[in-house]
Amino acid sequence: MVGMSLRVALLGLLSFAGPASGYDLTKMFTLTINHVWQAKHSQIYPELNRMAADGLISVAQPGPRGRKIYTITEHGAATMRDWLVSHTPSGTMRSEQSLQAFLLPLLEPPQALEALERMADATQARLDGLEEMKKVHMSGQGGGDIGHYALDLGIMQLRAILAWTHQTADDIRASAAPDS
C-alpha cells in the first residue's frame, strides 16, 4: 500500500504525544510537522476513521462535544516502525522553486537576477522561521525530541538553496559581463 505517509505521520504524533483527538492532531500537524508534511482536518478526520477500522488506533467513547480520543495500538506502533525501517522514500520531488531554477536560463540576465533575489528573500524568511523554531525547541527539554532531526534537515536544505542563489547570481553576472 502506498499513500501511507499521512497514516504514519498521525501514528508518530500519537506515539509521541499520547492519546489525542482529531482536533488536537490537526493542531499538532500545523504546529510541529508543517515544514515536512501538511494536512487539514478534512483529510485527517476521515483518515482516523479508516485507521480505527484497520486496527491501527483505538477510539474511546465520544466525550463532551463529540470529542473522540484516539490511542495508538500495538499494531499501529509496529506498522509505523516497520514503515520507518523498511520503506525507501519515493524520491519524487516536485518543487516550484526548482522549476523556476530550471527555466532561469530562458530569462535575460537582469530578469534572472531579479527572480533570484526574490527566491533568496523567500528562502531566507523560511530559514529564519525554522531557526526560530529550533531555539524554542532547544529551550524546552533536551534530547530525544520528535522533529528535532527534521528541523536540522530543513535548515541544512534551506541553507543549500540560499548558497545556490548566491552562486548562481554570481555566475549570471560573470557571463553577462564577459571580461573584467
Closer residue to DNA in complex, CB, 66/178: 66
Q: Provide the grid cell at 86.
A: 523498511
Q: Which 31-70 residues touch a copy of itself, going by CB under 8 A?
A: 33, 35-38
Q: Are 21 and 70 in contact (CB under 8 A)?
A: yes
Identified binder of DNA from the candidate list 8, 10, 28, 48, rule CB under 7 A: 48
Q: Which 82-121 residues touch DNA, going by CB under 7 A?
A: 92, 94
Closer residue to a copy of itself in complex, CB, 90/139: 90
Closer residue to DNA in complex, CB, 50/118: 50
Q: Are 147 and 17 in contact (CB under 8 A)?
A: no
Q: Alpha helix locations (H) across the chain?
A: 5-17, 22-28, 41-53, 74-86, 96-103, 109-139, 148-176
d(CA 62, CA 52): 14
Q: Does 156 bind a copy of itself (CB under 8 A)?
A: yes
